[in-house]
Structure formats: C-alpha cells, structure tokens
Structure 1
C-alpha cells in the first residue's frame, strides 16, 4: 500500500441540499426554536455553519446523538463547552432511551421566557414548533420517529435519506419540522471532511477511502492503541499503512501475499462505525 501524505480533498453538495437550504430559510420564520442533532463523536465537525446562520437568534437545542458511540467523559466536556444563554445541550442514545420527556423538558426550558410572556398576557401557549436540523446520517429521522412514537420519517443507515421538509406532532407541547441532512459547499478545515467521512456522513462512493482509513488508523495509533490491539491482535507501529496491512494479515485479507486493499479498508471503516473498537470520541473541546 502506497504511503500517501497529501491533503484529503472532500466536497459534496448535491442539488437537493441547495433546495433544502432555501426551503429551510423560508420555513424558519414559522418555528420558535431549532433542534440541531450533532454526532457525539464529532460535535464540532458535525456542526453545520450554514445552520448557525439560518438559526439567527432563535433558541437552540443541541442534541449530541449516538452518545453510546462516544466516550462519556469527553461528551460531558462538550456539553459544557457548547452551552450558553440561548443554547442548551443534551446527549442522547436515540435508539435505547425514552427521549421524548427529555427533549420536551429541554425545549420548554429554552422557551420558558416566551411561554411566561404569553401566559402573563392571558394567551394560552400553543405547542412549541421546532425545526430539526443536522448533517446527513446524524440520526434525525430516527429521532423524529422515536419521539413521535410512530414512523413519520424515512430512515436509513446512510446519508441523504430525507429529501423534503415534513411536520410531525410529538404531543400537545411540541411539534417538529424535519429537514434533509445538509452539508455545506466547502470544508474550510480538511479534518472536518475526514471526520464526517469516518463516521459515515458522506457517501463512501465519492471518498478517497484509502486516505480516510489511513487518517483514522493514524488517530487510533496515537489515541487508542489498546483498542487496536484488543480488536485485531496486532503489534502497534507508527505507520498507518503498515498497520492496515497487519490487520489484513490477521484477518486473512491477503491474495498472493498482497493485501486486499478494498476489503481491508471497507471492513476497517465499517467496524469503526459499528463500534467494534469500542466507544471513541474523535474530537475533544480543547482541540477545536
């Protein structure tokens, strides 16, 4: 396997995302607040700067999804780092937790001032209307279905499943507007695109998978060598390409003494995404 140290260029901005941004801008005036899902493993990389721009001054609930895939201690640090006067942060395992009470309570807390003003004026508060946003494959549709306790959004373990905006009623307190996952036109920081690729937010078909796998291996060598030893039973070295070859040998992914690169890389990335190496946080707040 060739050792490549060149910059990794990743861009992906399909037409439906351009349309989605325009629709989100139009619908923003209809909602009271924004619920943004981010991947707990990469809370900074899974932040979309376009969404921040669209939100303006509206109350903002950040949900760190897939918390079971990240390290608890680091997730708590992120919750502290991202919270401010208009932004509340909670971490959820969307699939296993009873998320509805937590999300409704957090939304009410964010909207308390407005609700109190309405009550003071003798107006019966209506359900809070929230727009649900986030990058592809962060779990928005699963979140909508779990919180509404019925299948109202199409789901899939791949980016780009939701293609249109749709409303769903949670209960008398909360209504949600689901939106397609939107990436931005250009990644200013190369690492952002790489982390989104590692965690499955970008379609593998358009990625330089060898370079993505090498980047991931390099990070794991530096920060989680024990996870590599436990999963693959390999001796650690500093060269990520050599490490991938050692994994291939352990797994029997060799053909005529040569590594089956495609099979090795696809298996390695899939096992990262499926938590086979354990819960791993790929970003920490002080590295932002």
Structure 2
C-alpha cells in the first residue's frame, strides 16, 4: 500500500527542522518499538547528517523485549547514534534520558544543550516530553498530527528541548512499511482502507502468532488464509450483515484495534534482518521505476523533436 499523506503543516515543519538543525547539538528521534524501521523517517535521517542522535524506542511495553534489544544493538552499530527503550509507565527511565543527552554531548561550560526531538505522528513524542519536563507541556492524543508547530521546552538546568510536529515523509515507497504505519495508527484512518490493513495484519499474525489469535478470539483452529481469519473474527464478534454475511470492514477494524491496543500481547512487527531485505527490494524497485520514467521521458522528447522536424519539413515544402 502506497501511503501519501503529507499535510501542509508537515511540509512547513520539514523546512523549519532543516533551518534549525545547524543550531542543535543533538537530535532525539522517537520511534515506535513495534516498528523501529518503518517509524524511522528517512527524510529526517537525510537532514540530520552526522549530528549526534539518540533513538528512543517508545511503547516498548507493547513490543517484544528480545526484539527491542536487537533493534537497540542495530542502531548503536551506527556512528554517533545511541538508543534506548522506554514506556509511558516507566517515568524514572524516561527522565534518565536527560543524563544520557548530557553524556553524549559532553560538558558545555555552563551553556545550555540544544536538543531537537522529532518523530512521526502518534509515536508517543508528546507524552515523552511531558514526562521529561515533569509537567504538561505538549498536547497528547491517540490520533496523528496533534502537535502543529515548534515549541521550546526547558527540561532541566542544562537541556533545552525543541519540540517539532510529527513529520511523515511525502511518499512511503516500501509498501509493507505503509501497511505497518497504518496498522499502528501513524497515519489518519481516513487515508487508509481498514479491510486492506486488516488483511495485512492477518497475514502477519497467522504466520507468527497463531496461538495468540486462537486465545484472543476463541478460535478452535486458526484459519490458513487472511480472508478466512477475518471472517472467523467477524462471526465471533458479531460483525454480520445481510444474509448473515460477515462485514469485512467491521471485522478488520476489530483486528486492527486489537493490534494497536496490545490486545494480542507484545508484538514487534519487523526485525533488522527482515528490514535489510525489504530495504534492498524497495531500493531496487524504486531504481527500476525511475529508470522507466527516464526512458518514458526520453521517448516523449524524441517524439516531440520528430514532430517538430516533420512540421519544419512540411512548411519548407509548402
């Protein structure tokens, strides 16, 4: 599924981030621990360059603990990057982020450390800021695009935090990443098809967490296909319409909400190795599409030149 959801305030936020970065000592990027790759904005990585970066894997209580540790090790294998996992319930761990920022940047001789906090929509950034500041500063909510403009927050005597709106990039090329972002609510529901996303979730869960599906929905046996699973969930949860047919949209909404709220237990929907493979496949597909676009443009130009030549010849003969 190709996601293209880039509200005007996000374009403005990108320009503001780009203009502010030279005055920033460290970037804090908040990721969803369930989808660390898909919630990592490549546009932000491009803007950040080699600047110090702290990757904060939020909502880690909803992710697989072992897989979260693998992601931390993956991120810390990169130069100038540290990573940590937090939950909204573990406030002491969140507040230790201030000390980690100070250690990464080093002594400033009394000068304030300027940190920028970034992240895609609905990843828990505002909740994190409120805990760091020990007061309600940022507006929170379960829908994307709550923060609309930059704001500065002093979170200690040494660290100033620049909060930015959640920025999703203009086009998510990896179709699986598009599905994952939609599944966990990082794009507005109006920009997605519930049944489409529900079928994606069903395929992943059948392959990896069949026992959880059986327990959660009271199934004697988990069906082998996505359609059969969605129909089974619909029957169990009363999503029946005319002639006793299952309403696939309603049943899909139930499955999507179970994943979002943790009803199926801690889930990590991508691993570093899987993402390395998907990234390579996506890059190859993008390169192929760009080559086809160049060939199409070249043909168009050749046809245009041939038409001009024919018109000149016609005028000369006339």
TM-score (norm 1): 0.91
Matched with 1:207 is: 192
CA distance in 2, matches of 1:262, 1:283: 25
Report the Cα offset of residue 109 of structure 1.
2.1
Verify the 8 A CA contact 1:99 1:146 in the aligned structure 2.
Answer: no
Q: Over residues 169-227 of structure 1, what are the superposed CA-to-partner deviations in whole Å (9 max), with x where a residue is unaligned?
A: 11112111000000111112111111101111011111022111001000000011111
Is the contact made by 1:33 and 1:59 (CA closer than 8 Å) also made in structure 2?
A: yes
The question of 1:67 aligning with 2:60 is answered yes
Q: Is the 8 A contact 1:37 1:132 kept in 2?
A: yes
Q: Give, in whole Å, the separation in 2 of the partners of 1:105 and 1:169.
A: 14
Relative to its length, the structure with more helix (as a share) is 2
| CA deviation after TM superposition for structure 1 residue 104, in Å | 1.2
Instruction: Note the C-alpha offset of 1:100.
Output: 4.4
Deviation at 1:85, TM superposition (A): 3.3
Q: Which runs of 5 or more structure 2 residues have no equivalent in the other structure?
A: 276-318
> Matched residue of 1:46: which SS?
coil
Larger Rg: 2
Q: Secondary structure at the match of 2:111?
A: coil
By relative contact order (CA 8 Å, sep 6+), the higher-ranking structure is 1
Q: How large is the RMSD of aligned CA atoms in angstroms?
A: 1.2
Moved over 4 A (4+): none
Q: What is the aligned length?
A: 272
Consecutive unaligned residues of structure 1, counting only runs of 5 or more, are 1-7, 119-123
Q: What does 1:1-288 align with in structure 2 at a 5 Å threshold? A: 8-83=1-76, 84-112=78-106, 115=107, 118=108, 124-234=109-219, 235-255=221-241, 256-288=243-275
Give the alignment's TM-score, normalised by structure 2. Answer: 0.83
- For residues 58 and 10 of structure 2, the distance between their equivalents in structure 1, rounded to whole angstroms, comes to 22
Q: Deviations over 1:109-140 (max 9, x none)?
A: 2112xx2xx5xxxxx23221100001000011
Tell whether the 8 Å contact from 1:99 to 1:147 is kept in structure 2 after alignment: no
